[in-house]
């Protein structure tokens, strides 16, 4: 089934008050919403409050959703509007550099990536040796997943937002740029930096460091 019919079916269930449909929606989006909210507010506790308020906004606004964007994008826009208001109330002003990390931040050496003349520009030249020798199930172990989760949690807020939307939620770059109000260039840089840092943490873990 394509995405449009799936979304239409989900909306029908939500508007009919299907509790399980709403639970599934919350489970799918909560982690990404929390990551995005933390870009605008000062603590996880406040971000949790923002997410809860956003869900109330979603429930109240379902009948007004016209489907001009994906349901995910619409939900995240509601979240961002609430988070901005809450952040302003906290009188927090965070420069872009503080959110994105230093301009010269490098978690993995540049030579590890394919150059601009390569067919797969920006991709890794090779997987670490340890990865190729590990059975697939090892990568799915809870300990390894926790390393990835902790690495994402430790990212600067904007990097965390971008990687959560792209790699956890599966949003396209256009939706990321729209919701977070950043350029496509910034989106790509932030995603690259975030993935690099998560990759570095995972490499260290698999190497037993």
Helix axes 71-89, 173-180, angle to 10 degrees: 30
State the pTM of this model. 0.66
Domain ranges (residues) in the chain = 3-89, 96-206
| pLDDT exceeds cutoff 50 at 200 | yes
Q: CATH number of the domain at 3-89, please? A: 1.10.1740.10
Q: CATH number of the domain at 96-206, please? A: 1.10.10.10
| pLDDT exceeds cutoff 50 at 131 | no
pLDDT per position as a tens digit, 16-74: 888 898 998 998 999 999 999 999 988 888 999 999 999 999 999 998 888 888 899 99
Tokens of 98: 């503080």
**Structure-derived torsion over alpha carbons of residues 86, 63, 14, 10, reported in degrees to the nearest 10:** -100
């Amino acid at each position: 089934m394509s995405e449009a019919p799936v979304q239409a079916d989900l909306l029908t269930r939500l508007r009919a008050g299907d509790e399980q449909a709403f639970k599934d929606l919350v489970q799918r989006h909560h982690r990404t919403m929390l990551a995005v909210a933390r870009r605008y507010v000062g603590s996880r506790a406040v971000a949790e409050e923002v997410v809860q308020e956003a869900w109330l906004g979603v429930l109240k606004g379902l009948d007004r959703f016209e489907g001009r964007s994906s349901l995910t994008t619409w939900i995240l826009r509601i979240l961002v509007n609430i988070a901005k208001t809450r952040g302003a109330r906290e009188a927090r002003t965070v420069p872009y550099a503080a959110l994105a990390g230093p301009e010269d931040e490098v978690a993995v050496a540049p030579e590890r990536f394919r150059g601009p003349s390569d067919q797969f520009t920006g991709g890794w030249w090779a997987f670490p040796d340890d990865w190729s020798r590990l059975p697939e199930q090892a990568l799915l172990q809870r300990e390894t997943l926790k390393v990835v989760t902790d690495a994402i949690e430790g990212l600067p807020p904007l990097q965390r937002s971008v990687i959560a939307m792209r790699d956890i939620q599966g949003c396209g770059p256009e939706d990321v740029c729209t919701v977070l109000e950043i350029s496509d260039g910034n989106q790509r840089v932030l995603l690259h930096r975030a993935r690099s840092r998560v990759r570095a943490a995972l490499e260290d873990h698999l190497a037993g460091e």
